[in-house]
Amino acid sequence: MNNMTEVDTERIVYVTEDGEPTGETAPKLAAHHEHTRLHLAFSCYLLRRSDQALLITSRAASKKVWPRVWTNSVCGHPAPGEPIEEAVRRRAAFELGLPRLNGLQCVLPAYRYSTPPFEGVVENEFCPVFVAWVDEDPEPHPDEVGDWRWLSWNDYALLLNDDVTDVSYWAKDQFSQLKDVEPFSSLTERNSGA
């Protein structure tokens, strides 16, 4: 009996420092270890249209990579040959039960990062960052998301600096660049009363 899930069969795309595919791919889980090669990924921040609150998620405890860590709305890896915008929509539908993303746009097209080891795994990704708007609450897949909440952008900034809460490396790293680009710079101004 073969109960292969999407995660078991997912492949990542290796890229150059400029984000260009090398033509090589690898199984997702096997490729993430202490010497992870640079590969293509994405991050997406989902804002609730009614009040511009940000959806944050805690990665499920059963996840092999970065379990139980709070992070932005949804992250993932495009499949070989898959346009990155389609990968964002696919993962939002699969992980969060949110198939309708409004106004999806790339806000950091050349974001790239490498993490320190976390439970023996290093992330090493060329990772364009997206934003989109949604109207409804998520209905997350329990194997992907352990918890979720809506936060104002200012409360999110406070969470990133909270020493008690485990927050992903990339969420903290992306914030320094996101806070100065639209729509996030407007959220900061609005919440500060400017």
Q: The tokens of 2 are what?
A: 């073969």
- Nearest alpha carbon to residue 39 among 55, 26, 58: 26
Place of tokens 């990542």: 12
Distances (CA, A) of 116 to 31, 82, 150, 170: 16, 28, 28, 11
123 is catalytic: no
Q: The tokens of 71 are what?
A: 């992070």
Place of tokens 């499920």: 60
How far apart, in whole angstroms, are the C-alpha atoms of residue 71 and residue 28? 19
75 is catalytic: yes
Contact 96, 111 (CB under 8 A): no
Catalytic residue among 75, 85, 123, 144: 75
The answer, yes or no, to whether the previous bond of 140 is cis (omega within 30 of 0) is no
Catalytic residue among 85, 95, 123, 125: 125
Q: Which residues are catalytic?
A: 75, 125
